[in-house]
Amino acid sequence: MHEMNQLTTFWFWVIGGVKVLAVFTVVMLVVAYMTLAERRVSAFIQDRLGPNRVGPFGLLQPIADGLKNIIKEETMPGTSAKLYFVLGPALAIMPAVVTFAVIPFAAPLPTPVGTVDMIVADVPIGILYILALSSLAVYGIVLAGWASNNKYAFLGGLRASAQMISYEVALGLSVIAVLLLAGNVTLTEMVWQQQQLGLWFVFPLSLAFIFFVISALAETNRLPFDMPEAESELITGYHTEYSAIKFSMFFIAEYSHVLTASALMATLFFGGWDIPVWTGDDMFWHEGALIRGFDDAGAPIAATPSVLITLLTLGAFCTKTAFFVFLYIWIRWTLPRFRYDQVMHLGWKVLLPAALGYIVLIAGTMLVLDQLGVPFGLLYGLVLTGVSGVTTIAFFFFIDRDRVIAGAHGMGAVARRREASRALLARRAAANPDGSVS
């Protein structure tokens, strides 16, 4: 059995540095390949093939793109505010890159010098750090939009800030439901609580998950909420005036946001690196010792970290994240862009009150369960799943009831047909005043 001790200060710094470098490199690589995935998936959805010429299956395409963007000429609009114009992309990319630091991506790894947590920085503020920093990204966008001295860029920046404010609320409220259930803000503890509950939070908090996905789409400025860069209205919005590597930086920022949001969905609602059903991978630092759980008497059971478990859990985490990245791309290439008033309507008038009500409901249910003395476990989770399931169905029934939208063309046709049949009836009534049927 491995020695399960925490790292000494020296090794903490060394391994910390290695983790920072490794995670940064991997995130940048994944972001590069997400651009390829985006192009390939969109091509396949549209019955095309997509870029498949540079390297096998087009695998070297991101490198070619990156090289091209580095070599290209950088334009600087003569009327722009130079300092802020340069600062914009830097401010946009910085929060996007650092948010991944607090997401745990695998079970702790045993090494000769101690057990290493597979997370760059297990800071006690966890999700709050992500919320705080990811909102900073909008400063980059607004600054870029304003400094470009271009009306489209400026409108893009304005839209970005309005949208960010609107959906930050819904995002925060959907996270609060998770915080209520997890009882803590660190993401490692959230994974642990999901392992303890025996259920991923997506089941007991199904509606919160749906709200989180919708707001995360809006927060990352992805279609159907890409108002800041709506091509058909604003050219490309805030980065209209940017070229070469500065444009690339906005691109990298957007995709890192997508990656972080996907990883966050996986961590908050799908158990993070947890492998479903199997409890052998459950691991958590409890009072200085790595434990797997508690026995019936409440005494901690020691965990057995191993390289295999770390690799398996890393695989689980990557699979879940990859699924959400795919979901992002899939949604983008399916749905058209929302109209601006519809975006605001959905954010303020639907998601905000619904998320608030949902929190009250979840908190109430948890209060009742705690008062009844139901232990935090499968039964607790199943009761919440039932309540959430009913709420989710009720929510969708309510918003979908009698409010199906068809294409404007189809609606015109329906209206015309209705008009025609009404006219026909009127004519029949006029020709046959006594109402008898011949």
Taking the complex as a whole, how short is the minimal distance between the CB of residue 407 and other proteins, in angstroms? 9
Binding mask 410-429 for other proteins (x = CB under 8 A): -xx--x--------------
Taking the complex as a whole, how short is the minimal distance between the CB of residue 129 and other proteins, in angstroms? 32
Residue 359's alpha-carbon distances to 33, 108, 304, 356, 391, in angstroms, are 37, 32, 37, 5, 11
Residue among 228, 211, 208 at smallest CA distance from 220:
228
Interaction residues for other proteins, span 291-330 (CB under 8 A): 330
Looking at 299, 405, 430, 437, which residue binds other proteins (CB under 8 A)? Answer: 405
- Phi then psi for 114, rounded to 5 degrees? 140, 175
Using the rule CB under 8 A, is 47 a contact of other proteins?
yes
60, 348 in Cβ contact below 8 A?
A: no
Taking the complex as a whole, how short is the minimal distance between the CB of residue 403 and other proteins, in angstroms? 4
269, 212 in Cβ contact below 8 A?
A: yes
Partner residues linked to 114 by β-bridges: 111
Using the rule CB under 8 A, is 404 a contact of other proteins?
yes
User: Whose Cβ is closer to other proteins: residue 288's or residue 336's?
Assistant: 336
Using the rule CB under 8 A, is 396 a contact of other proteins?
yes
Using the rule CB under 8 A, is 376 a contact of other proteins?
no
Taking the complex as a whole, how short is the minimal distance between the CB of residue 330 and other proteins, in angstroms? 7
Which one of 27-35, 135-143, 240-248, 399-407 is the stretch in contact with other proteins (CB under 8 A)? Answer: 399-407
Which one of 38-46, 277-285, 301-309, 430-438 is the stretch in contact with other proteins (CB under 8 A)? Answer: 38-46
Taking the complex as a whole, how short is the minimal distance between the CB of residue 214 and other proteins, in angstroms? 11
User: Whose Cβ is closer to other proteins: residue 13's or residue 396's?
Assistant: 396
4-30 burial, b for 16+ CB within 10 Å, e for fewer?
Answer: beebeeeeeeebeeebeeebeeebeeb
Burial of residue 432, with CB atoms counted within 10 A of its CB: 0-12 exposed, 13-18 middle, 19 or more buried: exposed
Looking at 72, 82, 151, 349, which residue binds other proteins (CB under 8 A)? Answer: 349
CA gap 252, 62 in Å, rounded: 11
Using the rule CB under 8 A, is 278 a contact of other proteins?
no
Instruction: Give how many residues touch other proteins by CB under 8 A.
Output: 30
The pair of structure tokens assigned to 106 is 């695998």
97-106 burial, b for 16+ CB within 10 Å, e for fewer?
Answer: bbbbbbbbbb
Rg for the chain, CA atoms, rounded: 26
Using the rule CB under 8 A, is 44 a contact of other proteins?
yes
In this structure, what DSSP letter does residue 234 have?
Answer: H
User: Whose Cβ is closer to other proteins: residue 56's or residue 433's?
Assistant: 56
User: Whose Cβ is closer to other proteins: residue 41's or residue 158's?
Assistant: 41
Taking the complex as a whole, how short is the minimal distance between the CB of residue 388 and other proteins, in angstroms? 18
Torsion angle in degrees (nearest 10) through CA of 269, 275, 278, 284: -80
Half-sphere CA count of 169, side-chain side, radius 13 A: 17
Taking the complex as a whole, how short is the minimal distance between the CB of residue 400 and other proteins, in angstroms? 5
Cα end-to-end span (Å), the chain: 95
CA gap 154, 147 in Å, rounded: 8
Taking the complex as a whole, how short is the minimal distance between the CB of residue 170 and other proteins, in angstroms? 16
Taking the complex as a whole, how short is the minimal distance between the CB of residue 33 and other proteins, in angstroms? 18
Using the rule CB under 8 A, is 54 a contact of other proteins?
no
Looking at 339, 418, 422, 427, which residue binds other proteins (CB under 8 A)? Answer: 339
Looking at 7, 15, 20, 45, which residue binds other proteins (CB under 8 A)? Answer: 45
Looking at 41, 96, 101, 144, which residue binds other proteins (CB under 8 A)? Answer: 41
Looking at 64, 331, 356, 359, which residue binds other proteins (CB under 8 A)? Answer: 331
104, 118 in Cβ contact below 8 A?
A: yes
For residue 42, the tally of other CB atoms under 10 A from its CB is 15
Looking at 63, 125, 394, 399, which residue binds other proteins (CB under 8 A)? Answer: 399
Which residues here bind other proteins, judged by CB under 8 A?
41, 43-49, 330-331, 333-335, 339, 341-342, 345, 349, 396, 399-401, 403-406, 408, 411-412, 415
